[in-house]
Amino acid sequence: MSQNPISQNPPELRPDLSRARITETRRDGQPTIGMVSLGCPKALVDSERILTRLRAEGYGISADYSGADAVIVNTCGFLDSAKAESLEAIGEALAENGRVIVTGCLGAEPEYITGAHPRVLAVTGPHQYEQVLDAVHTAVPPAPDPFIDLMPASGVKLTPRHYSYLKISEGCNHHCKFCIIPAMRGRLASRPAHAVIREAGKLIESGVKELLVISQDTSAYGTDIRHAEERGHRAHITDLARDLGQLGAPGEIWIRLHYIYPYPHVRELIPLMADGLILPYLDIPFQHAHPDTLKRMARPAAAERTLDRIAEWRGICPDITLRSTFIVGYPGETEEEFQTLLDWLDEAQLDRVGCFQYENVDGARSNALPDHVAPEVKQERWDRFMEKAQAISEAKLAQKVGQVMDVIVDDIDADGIATCRTKSDAPEIDGNLFIDEGTEALSVGEIVSVEVDEAGEYDLWGRLAPKR
């Protein structure tokens, strides 16, 4: 039987994916499930929840196809390229194992999956945990041993022990023309704040040093439940960030916010960053800068006010890191509109930038827009955008040479080279800081001070600073 490991999207293709870290051994007679987790960190959290529920029922978790009685493929369906990748992963699981249950965003289109792979055992949609468990029970009946099958307090994690994604809501109330997430995952549904704080506390007790707060629209957290307050915790992103930041001693626990829309009340988060309660890091999906392009996207057309807000944020917290993603080649994008985006980027001087070439997505309203941009023009604009973004990144990193900063250690290889991240770097999507000497006493997950002595286009190099 094949000993191939269960694959996840390669980091160079999908840097937002974590690699599975499963180290359990199988007891005699224990039913065992494998998991292939595709897509964004929100999907990764879904995978962890499914595996945690299965582990609590006595199932073992397998890191390879041959060791699994069945395999769950948690799919992504956001772009056509992601759909194709999901179908490929399902096909690989069928070839290597033969017993496959499909869930996730692409599961909202069961006929699309069964049309390509009629042999799958079941198809369920996104965050349909009970249906996934029912499908597993049917395919592989549970056989728990209550004297042996002990559940780790933190549940099953697919990320390293020292950081974890913390999902605070599902769904989205926006109606961006290029996006089908609301159709797949529904409208905004916020978790109670006390439940989020309780989960965060358990993760910290288990050794997590960095919590990455995620949702589809983090700034809107709690609006659907009218910012309800229960058990001393209010469901508002500012209150939640403050409560999370108070879970550990200053500097001991990193709280990183992702997917923040630039609503006016985001300003209230910046003093928390300046005070060290949460990391000075905002991940904001601007998508474009030209008002006409934003209007065609059905996004807020307020690029000028956004620049004012960025200046205000930096005035309050000069160390703030701003990360964003953009789309080039959106239907109707003219050379003038694209040049406006480049000029805006010059003025905004964002620290971390990602860029995608527009793709049609089945079911998206943008497909019907006129004047689609030719592929070669999209590529040329992407190249120009990334060249500018790279130059900004290189210049900003060069300014860090000579500074002493705290970093978190992600890995130490066989040669003693430590791969770390600064407060400006989210795992898998931003840059790294490397230490290549004096790492003998370091351990993964440790937060240490480093003096930066070299900078590249996206990464830094440094040496351990004397203890303060």
What is the per-residue pLDDT across 114-131, written as a single tens digit (0 to 9) for each? 999 999 999 998 878 788
Q: DSSP character for 150?
A: P
Confidence of residue 56 (pLDDT cuts 50, 70, 90): confident
Pairing of strands 447-455, 418-422: unpaired
- pLDDT per residue over 321-359, tens digit each? 999 999 999 999 999 999 999 999 999 999 999 999 999
Confidence of residue 59 (pLDDT cuts 50, 70, 90): confident
Q: Residue 211 and residue 254: Cα distance in Å, rounded?
A: 6
Beta strands per DSSP E along 38-188: 60-62, 70-75, 100-104, 122-123, 163-167, 169-170
Identify whether the C-beta of residue 404 lies closer than 8 Å to the C-beta of residue 450.
Answer: yes
Give the domain range for residue 5.
1-158
- Percent of the chain having pLDDT more than 70? 90
Q: Residue 18 and residue 30: Cα distance in Å, rounded?
A: 26
Q: What is the pLDDT of residue 25?
A: 57
Q: Which amino acid is at 411?
A: D
Is 457's pLDDT higher than 70?
A: yes
Confidence of residue 16 (pLDDT cuts 50, 70, 90): very low
Q: Give Cα 2 to chain centroid, integer Å.
A: 31
Q: Give the residue carrying structure tokens 């303060």.
A: 468
CA atoms lying within 13 Å on the CB side of residue 339: 3
- Among 369, 398, 427, residue at a domain's last position: 398
- Among 125, 158, 191, residue at a domain's last position: 158
Same domain, 331 and 410: no
- Percent of the chain having pLDDT more than 90? 62
Same domain, 93 and 194: no
Q: Residue 208 and residue 155: Cα distance in Å, rounded?
A: 12
CATH number of the domain enclosing 225: 3.80.30.20
Identify whether the C-beta of residue 341 lies closer than 8 Å to the C-beta of residue 288.
Answer: yes
Same domain, 190 and 292: yes
Residues ≥6 apart with Cβ < 8 Å to 438:
463, 464
Confidence of residue 246 (pLDDT cuts 50, 70, 90): very high
Q: Give Cα 381 to chain centroid, integer Å.
A: 26
Q: Give Cα 68 to chain centroid, integer Å.
A: 27
- Among 92, 125, 158, residue at a domain's last position: 158
- Number of CB atoms found within 10 A of residue 162's CB: 19
- H/E stretch holding 211 reads strand 210-214
Residue 131 is encoded by which pair of tokens? 């249906």
Share of the chain residues as helix, strand and coil, in percent rounded to the nearest 5: 35, 20, 45
Same domain, 49 and 185: no
460 forms beta bridges with 433, 455
Give the torsion sign (CA, 133, 136, 137, 142): negative
Same domain, 382 and 254: yes
Same domain, 173 and 137: no
Same domain, 435 and 287: no
Same domain, 331 and 352: yes
Same domain, 176 and 282: yes
Average pLDDT, the chain: 87
Intra-chain end-to-end CA distance of the chain, in Å: 55
Same domain, 5 and 112: yes
Q: Residue 45 and residue 173: Cα distance in Å, rounded?
A: 21
Pairing of strands 281-283, 321-328: parallel
Give one DSSP letter per residue of 275-331, joined into a string: TTSS-SEEE---B---HHHHHHHTS---HHHHHHHHHHHHHH-TT-EEEEEEEES-T
Same domain, 171 and 215: yes
Is 24's pLDDT higher than 70?
A: no
- pLDDT per residue over 362-409, tens digit each? 888 999 999 999 999 999 999 999 999 999 999 999 999 999 999 999
Average pLDDT over residues 427-432: 90
Q: Which amino acid is at 386?
A: M
Q: Residue 262 and residue 278: Cα distance in Å, rounded?
A: 17
CATH number of the domain enclosing 441: 2.40.50.140
Confidence of residue 41 (pLDDT cuts 50, 70, 90): confident
- Number of CB atoms found within 10 A of residue 347's CB: 12
Query: Residue 284 burial (CB < 10 Å; 0-12/13-18/19+)?
Result: buried
Quote the number of domains for the chain: 3
Same domain, 391 and 410: no
